[in-house]
Chains A and B, each alone.
Chain A
Amino acid sequence: MGWIGRQACATLGITLLLSLPGAAQAQTTLNALFMAQAGYSEAQIREMTDAFQKAHSDIQVKLEFVPYEALHDKITLASGSGGGYDVVLFDVIWPAEFAANNVLTDVTDRIDAKTRSGVQDGAWTTVDYKGRSYGMPWLMDSKFLFYNKAMLEKAGISKPPASWPEVIKDAEVLKQKGIVEYPIVWSWSQAEAIICDYAVLMQAFGGKFVDDNGKPAFQTGGGVDALNFMVDTLKNGTTNPHSTEYLEEDVRRVFSSGQAAFALNWTYMYDQANNNAKESQVTGQVGVIAPPGVEGKSTVSTVNGAMGLGIPTGSKNKDAAWTYITYLASPEVETKYASAAPPIWKAYYDDPAVKNGPNAALLEAQSKSFASLFARPFVVDYQQFSTRLQQALQQALLGQASAEDALKSAASDLAGG
């Protein structure tokens, strides 16, 4: 063996020696899927994950972010092709489908009694299906009614509206006085976002998505009233007509640039619009309330927008995945990032330091909303249900059919399978 050969052997030997401690402490790599939209931001999730990895040197987490619209299909596709992810973020409307199709692991036995009782009831609906849990709730949310305090003041309106008809009355005043051209902005694009806005109004008008047998019921009573209400606001010019192509982020941009007095959106908009001067021209002017009801029918209107973290059935690192999930959903982590997404823990909302903190108004709105969260239907074919209903809603909003006809036709399609 020549000099080069000896050198090579020595290098190889040293490398092997150095790699031994690493081999003794086996590394687990988790692949995790999150969304880059509403809720915790990508930067915040990376920060949480870095902190987790510092505390658990044996676990590495690879993060992937997709838009909300791609989340469901990404999880489904990964499960169809035999795995890929160890941790996935999922929406409150999917557990029925994911449980029925064996997409997510049943983690009921991993959840202890203390956690079970410490977490808000509305959060459990995110992960539970037929008495079993398919993940850990991670964030609570509902849509809130945001308003521009300065605009209302300028219009001589002293307090936020107490009912939906009052929202319209205020909006008409704002429009008449020329303070803002289109006072209200919504996310009425052909997407899940429109269903969430419709759900809020449906609860306000006392409607139901489905009856007790799971058959469509939105084509009667409150469901029709809610859609007629939406159509009317477009007709009287109080709603921004561009809402039919908007998602939540568009709503945030319009509201934050001072082009709307009212907006319906998730919690995350509060911090972005009120406190982030880089993103908003209306900082310090943002008011927030639980969306009101309609006299004689309701006092508050909401939509359950909670999300959970689950372990796909194909994962080979379920224990490490659960360790990561419980860390992300711990009271400490959730409290630290509460301005982006409301915590799942009951104790957070009773903490005096939080109650009297800078986000007191938001907390009050959250407490009121979370007490009566309105759910979208728990049906296995939810995607199909939602897609057909999105079409019907847009049909009426774009003036191609009356609210009654559009909803009736969708209901008969869905009832017929």
Chain B
Amino acid sequence: MSLSGAEGTSSLSPSRLARAAAGVGIGRKRRALTARGRLLLILPLMAVLLAVIGWPLVDTVWLSFTDAPLGGATGNFVGIDNYLRALRAPGFLRALGVTALFTVLTVSIEMVLGLCVGLLLDMDLKGRAFFRFLLIVPWALPTVVNAMAWRVIYNPDFGALNALLLQLGLIDKYQSWLGSPATALFAIAAADIWKTFSLVALITLAGLQAVPRELREAAAIDGAGFFARFRAVTLPVILLPLSIAAVLRMIEAVKVFDIIWVMTRGGPLDSTKSLSILIYQEAFSFRHAGYGASLAMLSVALSLLLIAAYTRALRGQPRA
């Protein structure tokens, strides 16, 4: 059985699409563009992309094989020394660990929470439109504003969180959530989850609109319970959008910088120093542009691995 809601577009065969793009059948009097003509049209965009993405990328790769300082001097070619140094440095491994923990923590909770809230807001609730609107608010907040707000909430002498937990009897005195290495990363992760789970919820909600109502009703009449209906009818439809949300969030989490920078700047005791913060510090605070570039390339490699894994996973899924 096909559950497709996008039948209309997929019924256009590739050859018809290509002919349409080339102008055939739309304005019969116009001549079709030659291959060279098409190339000419995309050339300006290619040039811009090369200038703003290609060149800096090539430059960074080159930089990562040199001992160049920031600004001015070009530095000497040092081969893969920077990479070897990075892989041996305890700071790099630690930052990798911090980044991995942050990514796993935030993405997994955001996915579960987003999915639940998305399902909830798909139900026939009173004031559903209002709750859907509310959902967008945290996501629309700039990260820096969100981070500053959470810093105030966590404040160990005046913070709302401490007051709340104390009144509930969960703590016996005010805690320094961002000042203790045991809690700082979790505190930041919570702030990040609060802001971004709504993206997952929104994507879930959008995906749910494609689930045919008749199908759900038919399953209900057949005696399928909530979980059975969710597994057999709903999940297959929203799996693809959910996977895309997970990829997006994962890439974002791997390169996390701003929320940490505003809340703890990597402290206390480097317990929140993510890869991006380490790279920034090496390249710009310490002026080790070459070494910083090699760290950045390692971070890119990590992101590429994740992207590749997910592309594979997506390919293996049934098309919605």
**Residues in A lying within 8 Å of B, measured CB to CB:** 69, 72-73, 76-77, 79-80, 97, 101-103, 189-191, 240-246, 250, 253-254, 257, 259, 381, 383-384, 387, 390-391, 394-395, 398, 400
Contact = CB atoms under 8 A, between A and B. Distances in A.
A80 B268 contact: no
Contacts of A253: 157-158
B157 A384 contact: no
A245 B71 contact: no
A394 B181 CA distance: 10
Given A189-B268, A191-B267, A242 B287 contact: no
Contacts of A257: 157-158
Contacts of B269: 190, 391, 394-395, 398, 400
B267 A394 contact: yes
A387 B176 contact: no
Given A80-B71, A391-B270, A242 B179 contact: yes
B268 A398 contact: yes
Given A77-B284, A80-B71, A383-B286, A245 B178 contact: yes
Given A253-B158, A394-B268, A384 B176 contact: no
Going nearest first, the 10 A-B pairs with the smallest beta carbon separation are A190-B267, A245-B179, A242-B156, A80-B71, A242-B176, A244-B179, A394-B269, A383-B285, A245-B178, A73-B284
Interface in B271-312: 280-281, 284-287, 289
Interface of B: 69-72, 155-158, 174, 176, 178-181, 264-270, 280-281, 284-287, 289
A221 to B, nearest CB: 25
13 contacts: A73-B280, A76-B285, A101-B287, A240-B157, A241-B179, A243-B179, A245-B268, A253-B157, A257-B157, A383-B286, A390-B267, A395-B269, A400-B269
Nearest to B178: A245
B68 to A, nearest CB: 11
Nearest to A101: B71
Given A190-B266, A190-B267, A259-B157, 10 more contacts: A72-B285, A76-B71, A77-B284, A80-B71, A189-B265, A189-B268, A245-B176, A250-B155, A391-B269, A394-B267
A100 B49 CA distance: 36
A245 B284 contact: no
Contacts of B281: 387
A191 B270 CA distance: 11
A390 B264 CA distance: 13
B31 to A, nearest CB: 40
